[in-house]
Amino acid sequence: MAEYLFTRHFFEELSVFEKSVSPSDLRMLEEVLAAIVDTPNLPGRVPSFYDPTSPSYLYRSGNLLIHFRVPNPGLVEFLNLFWPRV
């Protein structure tokens, strides 16, 4: 399992997410983050093409879209969290 860190921006989005969703949505997010940390090259991820010098990926699970990168082997950095805001 890799180590992980959250960017400040991810923490800000996570704070809003936690205040606006159900406990099952929070559980799903925890499971998705754990799956990415466990296997950063998991099937279903797609390149984001955001910054070619530092490749990052998008991974969708249900209504969640996680933007992350692997700056070093064994380290996952979570960049953005997207979900439908109603």
- Give the Cα separation of 34 and 22 in Å (integer): 19
- Give the Cα separation of 24 and 8 in Å (integer): 24
- Quote the pLDDT of residue 54: 85
pLDDT tens digit string along 26-78? 999 999 999 999 999 999 999 998 788 889 999 999 999 999 999 999 999 99
- Are the beta carbons of 1 and 63 closer than 8 angstroms? no
Structure tokens at 83: 């979900």
pTM of the predicted model, to two decimals?
0.91
- Quote the pLDDT of residue 86: 67
How is the chain split into domains, by residue range?
Answer: 3-82
CATH number, domain 3-82: 3.30.2310.20
